[in-house]
A = this chain, B = another copy of it.
Amino acid sequence: MLNADEAFRQVMTWCHALPTAERSLEESLGAILAEDVLADQDLPPFDKALVDGYALSSVDAGNGLRDFNVSQTIRAGKFPTDELITGQTARIMTGAPLPQGADSVIMWEHVETVNNDLIRLPVERLIKAGQNVLARGREISQGQVVLPKSLRLNGAAIGVLGSVGRSRVKIVPQPRIRIVPTGDELVEIDQQPGPAQIRNSNAYVLRSLIEQAGGLPEVLPIAKDDPESLSESLSAGLYADILIVTGGVSAGEADLVPDTLASLGVEPVFHKIRLKPGKPLWFGVRHSAEELGQKPVRKVLVFGLPGNPVSVIVNFLLFVKPAIMALRGISTDPVAHRTVPLAEAVENRDERPSYIPARLARRHDRIAADPVNWAGSNDLRGAALADGFILIPSGPCRLAAGSSVSFLPLLPS
C-alpha cells in the first residue's frame, strides 16, 4: 500500500496550473498573475507632496533666504499653473502636485507663520532637494513592468493593479470542483432520515473546505448505488477540473465507483494508502483531448473519498487542497507543515501513521498541541472541537509530551 508521501507525489505529478483567464480585480486576491503588467503612466504621475506644508526651492533656502511669500494654495486633485519665483512658496496639501520652481516641502509645524501671506524658516533648519516629495516616476516609469508574471497577488499588488488602471487582469483562475455524493443510505440534510439512513453532511463539509482553499464548488444530487444512476451522476461530475466522489470506494460489492469511473475513461492512479483515517482513498485521471486524440475533453482529476466524514476531511487537507492550490499555480510544500510541541504524551497502536484532532493552547509561553478527547476516526464531533490534526507516526509508537509533531490546521490563521 502507498504511504501518504508517495501518494502526495503521485497526485502532484498530475496537477498543472489551469489555462489563464481574465478576471476582475475583485476576484484576483491570492491568485497567480499570468502576464507582465506594465505601467500605463509614470507613478506617481507628478512630483507629489508627502505632507501638508509649504513647497519651495531648496536652492533659495540654501542661499540663505528665510522669508517666503505665500503665492498660492495647492490642493490635491488640481494642477498648479503658476510657477514659483525666487522668494515665493506655496501652501500645499498631502498628495498635491508641486508647482514648477519648487523641489521640496517643509512641514507646516516646522515654519513660523508671520501672517497669512508670509512664512519664516527657522535659521537652523536645512532644506534638502526632494525633501517630503515623491518624485514623478519614482515608483515606476511608464511602460516598465510594474508587476511580473507569476507573482501571487497580495493586497498591495491589488493596489498596484488599481493604480495602473487594470480593473481586469490575466490570472490563473480558480478550479471548478464538482462533488458527487454516493450512497443509498444518504438523504439531504433538511430531510428526516429513515431507520437506516443518514444525512448527506459530507457535501457541506467539502463545499466549505473547497471555498476555503480557493476552489469553486458545486454539489450535484446524491447518486444511488446502481450502475446506471452512478454512471449518469459521475458523467455529469466530470464537467469540472476536479471531481470528488464520496462513498463507494472501499472493497465492498456495492462499491461501484472505480468500475464506473473506468467506463467513463478515468484511469486509476492509486487506491488505498497507508494512513488513518483515510485509507480507502482512490485517485484517478481522465486524460485531456490531446492525450486521447478524441473529441475535446478537459483533463479531470478524480478523488474518490470514503464516506467517513473524518476521513473526508483528512484526505481533503492532505491531497485535494494541495491539488486545488497546484491548479491555481501555487505550490505547497508538505515539508513546510507547521510543527508544534505536544502538550501531553500520545500513543498510536495502529500500524498506519495516524492523524488525531488537537487544540492549540498556550503552555509555558509556547503554543502546544493538546489532543482532544475523541472516540477514534469516526468521531466527527471530536474533530469539530479541534483546531486541526496532528500526525502520529505508525505504531506501536508513543510520543512523549514536548515531542514535535506536524500540524494540519482546520481553519486558516
Contact = CB atoms under 8 A, between A and B. Distances in A.
Interface in A102-118: 108-109
Contacts of A63: none
27 contacts: A26-B204, A30-B212, A30-B411, A73-B253, A75-B225, A76-B185, A76-B196, A76-B307, A77-B183, A77-B186, A93-B252, A94-B250, A95-B198, A95-B307, A154-B386, A156-B384, A156-B386, A159-B202, A159-B205, A159-B384, A160-B380, A162-B199, A162-B201, A162-B202, A163-B189, A167-B190, A412-B412
B208 A26 contact: yes
A195 B309 contact: no
B159 A52 contact: no
Nearest to A411: B154
Given A163-B201, A163-B380, A375-B138, A26 B207 contact: yes
Given A41-B193, A156-B381, A166-B189, 20 more contacts: A25-B204, A51-B250, A73-B253, A76-B184, A78-B196, A93-B254, A95-B185, A154-B387, A156-B205, A156-B309, A156-B310, A159-B201, A159-B202, A159-B384, A162-B201, A162-B204, A163-B189, A165-B191, A165-B199, A412-B412
Interface residues of A, number: 107
Contacts of A384: 147, 151, 153-154, 156-157, 159-160
A51 B379 CA distance: 15
A36 to B, nearest CB: 13
Contact of A158 (B200, B205, B250): B205
Given A163-B198, A379-B139, A247 B95 contact: yes
Interface of A: 25-26, 29-30, 41, 44-46, 50-52, 73, 75-79, 91, 93-97, 108-109, 134, 138-140, 146-147, 151-167, 183-186, 189-205, 207-209, 211-212, 225, 247, 250-255, 306-310, 312-313, 316, 336, 357, 367, 375, 378-381, 383-387, 410-413
Given A52-B252, A139-B378, A94 B307 contact: yes
Contacts of A157: 384
Interface centre among A93, A152, A204, A387 (most CB of B within 10 A): A204
Contacts of A309: 156, 159, 163
